[in-house]
A = this chain, B = another copy of it.
Amino acid sequence: MSVLRTGVSFAAPLDSPFQEAPAPWLNKILKGDCVSALEKLPSRSVDLVFADPPYNLQLGGDLHRPDQSKVDACDDHWDQFESFEAYDAFTRAWLLAVRRVMKPDGSLYVIGSYHNIFRVGAILQDLGFWIMNDIVWLKSNPMPNFRGKRFTNAHETMIWAVKSKDAKPTFNYDALKVFNEDLQMRSDWHLPLCTGAERLKDGKGQKVHPTQKPESLLYRVLTASSKPGDIVLDPFFGTGTTGAVAKKLGRNFVGVEREQAYIEAAEARIEAIVSGDAEALEMHQGKRAQKRIPFGTLLEAGLLTPGAKLTSANGKHLAVVRADGSLKSGAHTGSIHKVGALVQGQEACNGWTFWHIEDGARKAPIDDLRKEIRSRLQA
């Protein structure tokens, strides 16, 4: 029996002599509209997409006829309906272009407000995307509602989606949990607006971009759904918040932007960023990402001997360790997991945390022995 199985193999490092030259679009801003610019990227090439599309409903360009929905109540809203149609066509087009360049297990985040996010979400579903979460960005300092006619609009909505129901996206659960002081990261993110020194200003002190997103928002998106070295696409790059955070966090980026002024501001901004070093960028990993230690290893290593007695935490169940790494408890025999399930009459059981050994006066889960093995292997 091999004591350790090798983990998942890593992709070749970027400086590997066997790797092709980096793509010409990597860590660059492509000028143009996102549908045509994305044609320069190969299919299935990006790991993560962050999109902050416009929600200006007065788009020019193609106007499509209303569909066959017979809603006579809407007759007096013809113009408005036409606008929604145009917005929907625009949304379908860029989402399809993005979909092509996403890796099969890649993630897509789209942010918007109530003006556009419902249409975006419905179209995502219609195109076959699978929604993982919707996330609300709660602004600590939103603009008040001056006329007192509505609730203060204090949040924006972000949709996290993948290409299909079967996709297995990156989700750095353990890292996020540590980030959040050992509690699961929730779907509500409390973050301030982008103001102060972070807000890009031109020579006259005017803000360069009307809706610059805070780096804290992108920091959390990239920490959650990408790994160092991944490629992050932003099809509405603006002044480059996505690229700036990607560089800080050791990710590669691709941006698409139409306005030359934004491109220049973004390039200067990203140029000034210093990447974190590899050790600092390492993500906290839980058990899931660690090498598997078969129970028999504990016997091989001498941490347990055949005949050792294990008990459940409450002392109700007793089992004996056999030389082949199986347990025997009464008439039940099998793996630590199977016997743990059988003695409890349950369908499943994690034997590592269920079974305990006497460690002096108190009981300790056999998972502690596994930790001991792991620390020996690292030494």
Residues of A within 8 A of B (CB): 64, 68-69, 71, 73-74, 76-77, 80-81, 84, 92, 96, 99, 113-115, 117-122, 124-128, 131-136, 138, 140-142, 144-145, 148-155, 157, 159-160, 164-165, 171-176, 178-188, 190-192, 198, 215-216, 219-220, 223-224, 248-250, 276-277, 279-284, 288, 291-292, 294-297, 299-302, 305-307, 320-326, 328, 331, 333-338, 346-349, 375-379
Please judge, given known A-B contacts A122-B118, A185-B152, whether A190 and B377 are in contact too, CB under 8 Å.
Answer: yes
Q: Do the beta carbons of A153 and B126 come within 8 Å of each other?
A: no
In the complex, A358→B137 CA distance in Å? Answer: 32
Q: Is the CB of A277 within 8 A of B144?
A: no
B184 touches A171 (CB 8 A): no
Cβ-defined contact, B68 with A347, below 8 A: yes
- A307 x B295 contact (CB < 8 A): no
List the number of copies, as a whole number.
Answer: 2
- Asked whether A348 lies within 8 Å of B152 as measured between CB atoms, the reply is no
Expressed in whole angstroms, the minimum distance between the Cβ of A121 and any Cβ of chain B is 3
A316 to B378, CA, bound (A): 24
**Measured between alpha carbons, how far is A373 from B310 in the docked complex, in Å?**
29
- Pair B133/A153 contact, Cβ less than 8 Å: yes
Contact at A191–B306, with CB atoms within 8 Å? no
- CB of B155 within 8 A of CB of A188, answer yes
Residue on B nearest A74 in the bound complex, by CB: B128
With A74-B126, A136-B136, A349-B68 already in contact, the answer to whether A190 and B118 are too (CB < 8 A) is no
Is B117 within 8 A of A133, CB to CB?
A: no
Known contacts A179-B296, A185-B151; A305/B276 CB under 8 A: yes
Shortest CB distance A78–B (Å)? 10
Chain B residues near A198: list those with CB within 8 A.
302
Is A133 within 8 A of B151, CB to CB? yes
Pair A284/B152 contact, Cβ less than 8 Å: no
**A–B pairs, 6, beta carbons within 8 Å:** A68-B347, A119-B125, A134-B155, A138-B188, A141-B377, A250-B323
